[in-house]
Amino acid sequence: MTTGTIYRSGLRAGRDGFAQLLRAEWTKFRTVRGWVLTMTAAALATVLLGLGFSAASHSSCSEGPIEVACPIPPLGPDGEAVRDRLYFVNRPLTGDGSITARLTSMSGIITYPPPNHDQIVPGLVPWAKAGLIIKQSTKQGSAYAAVMVTGSHGVRMQHNFTHDTGGGSSTFPRWLRLTRSGDLLTGYESADGKQWTKVGTADLTGLPDTVRIGLFANSPGDLTVEQGSLGGSSTQLRFTQTTAVFDQVSVQGDVPRGAWSRDDVGADGKTDWERYHRANGLVESGGTLTVSGTGDIAPISDGRSIERTLIGALAGLIAVMVVAVLFITAEYRRGLIGTSLLASPRRGRVLAAKATVIGLVTFTAGLVSAAVTVPICTRILRANGTYPLPVSPLTELRVIVGTAALLAAAAVFAMGLGALFRRSAAAITVAVASVLLPYLLATVSSLPLGVSQWLLRVTPAAGFAIQQSVQEYPQVLAYYAPQMGYFPLAPWAGLAVLGGYAALALGLAIVRVRQKDA
């Protein structure tokens, strides 16, 4: 890796301007062919491994004995992939209006999937929902706002899949009201139908003049996580259903009289458990409406994410850390460090210049490779029937730029270790063990969740959080674990941890070079 022209400092003693130091260090880097080729190979590995991973990823779904292409998940108003499944009892509303109802009770069942159809447990999951909703249409992914009672999170106001407010009492009976004034929807709750408390508001800009207004019920799956005796975990998602009883239902505004429309939004035929047990639906008895539903209205949080296309960056990370270590240890091995330090009386500037050069070179290589890999690989995945969860342009930009910053920070960290240890093998081993090993242990091993999250908080591997593209939502049931692509620190906070380690290693190296080197 160090074959090529032997570099010598172009600076004269005493001329230690930082710009001159940068030019000298850049000259040293580019004149060693092994380093340039290895850095190029790191960028190519990121691209080629990502392309190979994407090309090999195919997806199909079973429809009886036939394999068919998996359906594209619906998109919400903001472009995110969503689940939009609910039983919707509704009528058209033109212009402004409102709906008021008393929710007298909620009950539910939790049932096992095949083959254990007979194992049914009564009960409500925490985010079981029933209440009032105004929805742009019965099409999946259409804009909506709803005021509801939940299984154990009180009265909530939710809209457009990602927004959630509230937390009032969920004792029964509970009165609910949802009003529309143009694009502004407001939810209220009351214990007696006289004294009302506002739960929340939603501004659904662009809502059409005629919408659907009514009652709904649904229930997400019951997620259980079992910890193994040797670490690791397994998850099981059980089918659930919510049944809600409403009475004293009244609708104000331009709403036609007559029978309610009944829409099982998001249903594509009966599921296996519905064939064996009660189906979703509406039962009317006098002024009482009993609504049963399953599913969830929420963003999808457990699909393939765009950062999976950057799997090749792991190989690139090792390569750039190797180059970063050699960038400093080669001078010690050849006895040229004295010449570099003689050219700059302020010895710390030499290491700072080296860190700047290796950081900028690595950032550039990482940025180019990530910018090529992510958009091309996501297109390949879609063509293969595997749909990465869509993200906003800003999130995609953060993943791309953040990956480049991750590689650059790791390179500076490795260079700092090289200056401390002054031995290539020791510095490379410590760098890889500090950055890559905790990440692999946390994301692909069977460590307990708490241990995995601890590793990604306090080690340099925390920097990988910058690649997380899928957001956690408190109101969405999911297994938010590193193995599923979720990190315990926010993206920029995780990168800051790695940056802190890089700064510490470089700082200690500067202290040592000032104290020990002649």
Per-residue pLDDT at 347 exceeds 60 = yes
Q: What's phi and psi for 16, nearest 5 deg?
A: -115, 30
pLDDT of residue 11: 47
pLDDT at 355: 94
348 band by pLDDT with thresholds 50, 70 and 90: confident
* Region 479-506 average pLDDT: 94
pLDDT at residue number 304? 84
State residue 6's pLDDT score. 45
Q: Which of 150-154, 226-230, 377-381 has the lowest mean pLDDT?
A: 226-230
The span from the first CA to the last CA of the chain, in angstroms, equals 28
pLDDT tens digits along 437-451: 999 999 987 788 889
Residue 113 pLDDT class (50, 70, 90 cuts): low
Res 434: pLDDT: 96
pLDDT at 490 over 90: yes
Name the most confidently modeled range: 227-231, 273-277, 488-492. Answer: 488-492
Q: Is the pLDDT of residue 13 over 60?
A: no
**Mean pLDDT value of segment 345-349:** 72
pLDDT digits (tens, 9 = 90+) for 313-337: 999 999 999 999 999 998 877 656 5
- At 301 the pLDDT is 81
The DSSP symbol for 81 reads: B
- Give a three-class secondary structure readout of 231-276: ECEEEEEEEEEEEEEEEEEEEEEECCCCCCEEEEECCCCCCHHHHH
Cα dihedral value 496, 498, 502, 507, nearest 10 = 60
- pLDDT confidence of residue 436: 96
Average pLDDT rounded to a whole number, residues 130-156: 96
pLDDT-based confidence at residue 365 (cuts at 50, 70, 90) = very high
Question: Two tokens at 120?
Answer: 């049914």
Whether the per-residue pLDDT at 104 is higher than 90: the answer is yes
Q: For position 47, what pLDDT does the model report?
A: 96
Residue whose token pair is 């939940």: 150
State residue 9's pLDDT score: 47
Cβ neighbour number for residue 479 with a 10 Å cutoff: 16
Decide if pLDDT at 12 tops 70: no
Contacts of 42 (CB under 8 A, 6+ apart): 315, 316, 317, 319, 320, 323, 365, 369, 407
Q: What is the pLDDT of residues 33-54, one digit of tens each?
A: 999 999 999 999 999 999 999 9
For the chain, what is the mean pLDDT? 87
Q: Which residue has the higher pLDDT, 229 or 163?
A: 163
Q: Does the structure show a pLDDT above 90 at 61?
A: no
**What does the pLDDT read at residue 513?**
77
Say yes or no to pLDDT of 63 above 90: no
Tokens 């004034």 — which residue? 181
pLDDT score recorded for residue 14: 43
Q: Regarding the domain delimited by 82-299, which CATH topology (the fold level of the hierarchy) does it fall under? A: Jelly Rolls (2.60.120)
Mean pLDDT of 257-283: 77
pLDDT at 321: 97
Least confident span in 333-337, 367-371, 464-468 = 333-337
Q: Tell me, what's the pLDDT at 374?
A: 96
Q: Alpha-carbon distance 135 to 143, whole Å?
A: 6
Tokens linked to 119: 């194992």
Query: Which pLDDT tens digit goes with each residue over 179-201?
Result: 999 999 999 999 999 999 999 99
Quick one: pLDDT at residue 178?
A: 98
Domain boundaries, the chain: 18-57+304-516, 82-299
Q: What is the pLDDT of residues 279-313, one digit of tens each?
A: 789 999 989 999 999 999 999 987 789 999 999 99
pTM of structure: 0.86
The continuous run of DSSP H or E covering 181 comes out as: strand 174-181
Number of helices (H) and strands (E), helices first, in the chain?
Answer: 10, 19
The residues near 284 (Cβ < 8 Å, ≥ 6 apart) are 260, 290
Residues of the chain with pLDDT > 70, as a percent, come to: 86
What's the whole-number mean pLDDT along residues 422-444?
A: 94
